[in-house]
Amino acid sequence: MINKVILVGNLGKDPEVRVLESGTKVAKFPMATNENYRDKNNEWQTVTEWHNVILWRYLAESAERQLKKGSLVYIEGKLTHRKYQDKDGNDRYVTEVVANIMRSLERRDSQGGGSPFPSEENDPFVAGSSSGSSSGSNASSAPTSSASDSDEEEDDLPF
Protein backbone atom coordinates (compact mmCIF):
# COMPACT_ATOMS: atom_id res chain seq x y z
CA MET A 1 0.00 0.00 0.00
CA ILE A 2 1.15 3.54 -0.73
CA ASN A 3 0.16 6.77 1.00
CA LYS A 4 2.20 9.53 -0.61
CA VAL A 5 1.46 13.19 -1.25
CA ILE A 6 3.58 15.70 -3.16
CA LEU A 7 2.62 19.37 -3.04
CA VAL A 8 4.16 22.53 -4.43
CA GLY A 9 2.45 25.67 -3.24
CA ASN A 10 2.48 28.73 -1.04
CA LEU A 11 2.08 29.09 2.72
CA GLY A 12 -1.16 30.73 3.77
CA LYS A 13 0.40 32.05 6.99
CA ASP A 14 3.63 31.85 8.98
CA PRO A 15 4.36 28.39 10.43
CA GLU A 16 2.89 27.93 13.91
CA VAL A 17 5.63 26.18 15.90
CA ARG A 18 5.08 24.55 19.29
CA VAL A 19 7.41 22.68 21.60
CA LEU A 20 5.82 19.65 23.27
CA GLU A 21 6.55 18.66 26.88
CA SER A 22 9.01 16.09 25.54
CA GLY A 23 10.97 18.90 23.85
CA THR A 24 9.87 17.83 20.36
CA LYS A 25 9.04 20.66 17.96
CA VAL A 26 5.99 20.54 15.69
CA ALA A 27 5.07 23.09 13.03
CA LYS A 28 1.71 23.58 11.34
CA PHE A 29 0.69 25.78 8.44
CA PRO A 30 -1.95 25.98 5.73
CA MET A 31 -0.64 25.60 2.19
CA ALA A 32 -2.37 26.59 -1.05
CA THR A 33 -1.99 24.80 -4.36
CA ASN A 34 -3.47 26.14 -7.60
CA GLU A 35 -4.88 24.36 -10.62
CA ASN A 36 -5.34 26.40 -13.80
CA TYR A 37 -7.63 25.42 -16.65
CA ARG A 38 -9.64 26.94 -19.49
CA ASP A 39 -13.41 26.94 -19.08
CA LYS A 40 -15.97 26.40 -21.85
CA ASN A 41 -15.68 30.12 -22.76
CA ASN A 42 -11.92 29.61 -23.27
CA GLU A 43 -11.10 31.81 -20.25
CA TRP A 44 -8.46 30.85 -17.69
CA GLN A 45 -9.80 29.77 -14.32
CA THR A 46 -7.84 29.05 -11.15
CA VAL A 47 -8.99 26.62 -8.47
CA THR A 48 -7.16 26.90 -5.13
CA GLU A 49 -7.02 23.93 -2.75
CA TRP A 50 -5.94 24.38 0.88
CA HIS A 51 -3.93 21.73 2.72
CA ASN A 52 -3.04 21.50 6.42
CA VAL A 53 0.67 20.60 6.69
CA ILE A 54 2.41 19.21 9.80
CA LEU A 55 6.20 19.01 10.23
CA TRP A 56 8.01 17.36 13.14
CA ARG A 57 11.41 17.78 14.81
CA TYR A 58 14.18 19.28 12.64
CA LEU A 59 11.78 19.83 9.72
CA ALA A 60 9.74 22.03 12.09
CA GLU A 61 12.93 23.87 13.05
CA SER A 62 13.80 24.40 9.38
CA ALA A 63 10.30 25.67 8.63
CA GLU A 64 10.52 28.08 11.57
CA ARG A 65 13.82 29.50 10.23
CA GLN A 66 13.10 29.54 6.50
CA LEU A 67 9.38 29.83 5.81
CA LYS A 68 6.89 32.65 6.12
CA LYS A 69 3.48 33.52 4.73
CA GLY A 70 3.61 33.37 0.93
CA SER A 71 6.77 31.20 0.76
CA LEU A 72 6.88 28.76 -2.14
CA VAL A 73 7.59 25.27 -0.78
CA TYR A 74 7.87 21.65 -1.90
CA ILE A 75 6.29 19.15 0.53
CA GLU A 76 6.36 15.38 0.36
CA GLY A 77 4.63 13.25 2.96
CA LYS A 78 1.53 11.21 3.77
CA LEU A 79 -2.15 11.91 4.29
CA THR A 80 -3.53 11.45 7.78
CA HIS A 81 -7.05 11.79 9.13
CA ARG A 82 -8.07 12.41 12.71
CA LYS A 83 -11.22 13.01 14.66
CA TYR A 84 -11.68 15.30 17.64
CA GLN A 85 -14.51 16.91 19.57
CA ASP A 86 -14.98 20.67 19.57
CA LYS A 87 -15.91 22.68 22.67
CA ASP A 88 -19.60 21.90 22.08
CA GLY A 89 -18.95 18.14 21.94
CA ASN A 90 -19.46 17.86 18.17
CA ASP A 91 -17.27 15.44 16.25
CA ARG A 92 -14.88 17.18 13.85
CA TYR A 93 -12.72 15.53 11.23
CA VAL A 94 -9.49 16.89 9.85
CA THR A 95 -7.20 15.77 7.02
CA GLU A 96 -3.53 16.70 7.24
CA VAL A 97 -0.34 16.14 5.29
CA VAL A 98 2.42 14.92 7.60
CA ALA A 99 5.60 15.91 5.77
CA ASN A 100 8.80 13.89 5.73
CA ILE A 101 10.46 16.12 3.10
CA MET A 102 10.33 19.90 3.00
CA ARG A 103 12.24 22.18 0.67
CA SER A 104 11.90 25.93 0.37
CA LEU A 105 11.73 26.89 -3.29
CA GLU A 106 12.51 30.53 -2.62
CA ARG A 107 15.63 31.77 -4.38
CA ARG A 108 18.63 32.53 -2.22
CA ASP A 109 21.21 34.96 -3.56
CA SER A 110 24.11 33.06 -2.01
CA GLN A 111 23.22 29.78 -3.72
CA GLY A 112 23.06 29.37 -7.45
CA GLY A 113 21.66 26.82 -9.88
CA GLY A 114 20.59 23.28 -9.32
CA SER A 115 17.20 21.69 -8.98
CA PRO A 116 15.03 22.96 -6.14
CA PHE A 117 13.63 19.47 -5.58
CA PRO A 118 15.15 17.09 -3.03
CA SER A 119 17.36 14.42 -4.50
CA GLU A 120 20.53 14.31 -2.47
CA GLU A 121 21.07 11.51 0.03
CA ASN A 122 22.37 13.89 2.71
CA ASP A 123 19.64 16.51 2.26
CA PRO A 124 18.97 18.11 5.67
CA PHE A 125 15.31 18.59 4.73
CA VAL A 126 14.60 14.90 4.21
CA ALA A 127 13.39 12.96 7.25
CA GLY A 128 15.83 10.19 8.09
CA SER A 129 18.72 11.54 6.01
CA SER A 130 22.19 11.03 7.41
CA SER A 131 22.81 14.75 7.94
CA GLY A 132 19.60 15.23 9.93
CA SER A 133 18.61 13.63 13.22
CA SER A 134 17.44 10.11 12.40
CA SER A 135 16.62 8.87 15.89
CA GLY A 136 13.16 7.40 15.89
CA SER A 137 12.92 7.61 12.12
CA ASN A 138 11.89 4.58 10.15
CA ALA A 139 12.63 6.08 6.74
CA SER A 140 14.48 3.73 4.43
CA SER A 141 17.15 4.82 2.02
CA ALA A 142 17.15 3.63 -1.55
CA PRO A 143 20.12 1.54 -2.67
CA THR A 144 22.58 3.26 -4.94
CA SER A 145 23.12 1.77 -8.36
CA SER A 146 26.41 1.29 -10.12
CA ALA A 147 26.96 1.72 -13.85
CA SER A 148 26.88 -2.06 -14.37
CA ASP A 149 23.36 -2.59 -13.04
CA SER A 150 21.77 0.67 -14.28
CA ASP A 151 20.53 -1.04 -17.49
CA GLU A 152 18.59 -3.60 -15.48
CA GLU A 153 16.88 -0.94 -13.35
CA GLU A 154 15.49 0.89 -16.40
CA ASP A 155 13.02 -1.96 -16.99
CA ASP A 156 11.90 -1.83 -13.35
CA LEU A 157 9.42 1.01 -13.96
CA PRO A 158 5.75 0.18 -13.22
CA PHE A 159 4.48 1.75 -16.46
Digit-coded pLDDT (tens) for 38-94: 999 999 999 999 999 999 999 999 999 999 999 999 999 999 999 999 999 999 999
Question: What domains appear along the chain, each with residue ranges and CATH number?
Answer: 5-154 (2.40.50.140)
Q: Which is more confident, 119 or 96?
A: 96
Question: For the whole prediction, is pTM greater than 0.85?
Answer: no
- Split at pLDDT 50, 70, 90, the class of 135 is very low
Q: DSSP of the chain, one letter per residue?
A: ----EEEEEEESS--EEEE-TTS-EEEEEEEEEEEEEE-TTS-EEEEEEEEEEEEEHHHHHHHHHH--TT-EEEEEEEEEEEEEE-TTS-EEEEEEEEEEEEEE-S--TTS--S-SS---TT-TTBTT-TTS--TT--PPPPPP--TTTHHHHHTT---
